[in-house]
Homo-oligomer: A and B are copies of this chain.
Amino acid sequence: MDDLFLKACRREPVEHTPVWLMRQAGRYLPEYRELRAQHDFLSMTREPDLAAEVTHQPIRRFGMDAAILFADILTPVAGCGIDVKFNPGPVIDDPIRKEEDLAPIRAFDAAKHVPETLQTIRLLTARLRVPVIGFGGAPFTLACYLVDGAGSKDFARTRIMFHQEPELAKKVLDAIGDMVADYAAAQVAAGASAVQIFDTWAGLLSPRDFAEMEAPVLRRIFDRIRDLGVPSIYYLNGCAALLGEIGKLGADVAGVDWRVPLDVARAALPDTMAVQGNLDPIVLLGSPDTIRERVREVLAAAGDQPGHIFNLGHGIHKDTPPENVQVLVDTVREESHR
């Protein structure tokens, strides 16, 4: 296997900076839209051949150094029996209001509830030369959907539960954390070479609420992944105020959003952590010259020390021209050659 990505996760020297992009398998690719025209989103995540093909598409076209499993952060939630619709954002008609509502999550069993996802990973590890990254949603981010019941700009209902019913909120985070750790372990057993935990919404938490409520659950997840012998990545959207906390979670790599230059992130994180990121995805809708300049800026901020995986600071935008992604990948290869 081409292990450039895994070496960078472990902060070992590499001949050039590895690159993959969050949401690299998706709507900006014509070959994805062609498949999507024939299948709905949930079917695409649930049919192993389709999900493996979609995961493969950007690798085939651009030659990224890692593949990220095509699935949704709510895949295990839907799998264990909670009714999740995509409309197009996730909608949960019966959100969690009391401890009993956690029963399906507590009964999560990967082999029973997400067999197609595990089969997708097996297909991919047989087909690809690059590592497959498994993933899960972070406890707070999944709680946002499970408690608020739909996307929101502030997920007030979930955050209100933290202050009105802190004991219930802790149980929600614990139950989700156990599910995510089991899900990660099953993905690794199926062949995933690394696991990324996506925390899209924890940037809404004050440092104290993050440290007291979510961090202990995240630490358990990252301890579990460490015991599996694969590297872990913690991506936190809106990480600027929480860099000090991120260093204490036990993840190997910090996924940094586009608001924090990587030299600032490096200075605030422990020397033992690698960094991943962090081009503003919107830059990919600009000119090739701008893309090259901003890619060089990210590489310069990451510096010469080992332990950088090139990525965007957030998922790729659906209107991104695919040829601009090629400009990004080529520039990373050329400019980071050692």
- Chain A positions within 8 Å of B, measured between CB atoms, are 151, 153, 156, 159-160, 162-164, 203-209, 238, 240-242, 258-261, 264, 280, 282-283, 285-287, 290, 297, 313, 317, 319
Contact = CB atoms under 8 A, between A and B. Distances in A.
Nearest to A280: B206
Contacts of A209: 280
Contacts of A163: 282-283, 285-287, 290
Nearest to A158: B282
A237 to B, nearest CB: 10
Given A163-B286, A241-B260, 19 more contacts: A156-B282, A156-B317, A160-B317, A160-B319, A162-B282, A163-B287, A164-B285, A164-B286, A164-B287, A203-B238, A203-B259, A206-B280, A206-B313, A207-B259, A207-B261, A238-B240, A238-B259, A240-B240, A241-B264
A176 to B, nearest CB: 20
Contacts of A319: 156, 160
Contacts of A160: 282, 285, 317, 319
**Copies per complex?**
2
Contacts of A297: 208
A285 B156 CA distance: 10
B156 A153 contact: no
Contacts of A208: 297
A286 B280 CA distance: 36
A282 B153 contact: no
A266 to B, nearest CB: 14
A317 B159 CA distance: 12
List 6 A-B pairs, minimum CB-CB distance, nearest first.
Answer: A163-B286, A240-B240, A240-B241, A241-B259, A159-B282, A160-B285
A280 B280 CA distance: 28
Of A242, A259, A313, chain B has the most CB atoms within 10 Å of the CB of: A259
Of A207, A242, A290, chain B has the most CB atoms within 10 Å of the CB of: A207
A206 B283 CA distance: 11
Of A162, A206, A207, A258, chain B has the most CB atoms within 10 Å of the CB of: A206
A53 B157 CA distance: 31
Contacts of A238: 203, 238, 240, 259
A290 B169 CA distance: 16
Nearest to A151: B153
Of A203, A240, A283, chain B has the most CB atoms within 10 Å of the CB of: A240
Contacts of A204: 259
Nearest to A163: B286
20 contacts: A151-B153, A153-B153, A159-B280, A160-B317, A162-B282, A163-B286, A163-B287, A163-B290, A164-B285, A164-B287, A203-B259, A206-B280, A207-B259, A209-B280, A238-B240, A238-B259, A240-B241, A241-B259, A241-B260, A241-B264
A263 to B, nearest CB: 11
Contacts of A242: 259
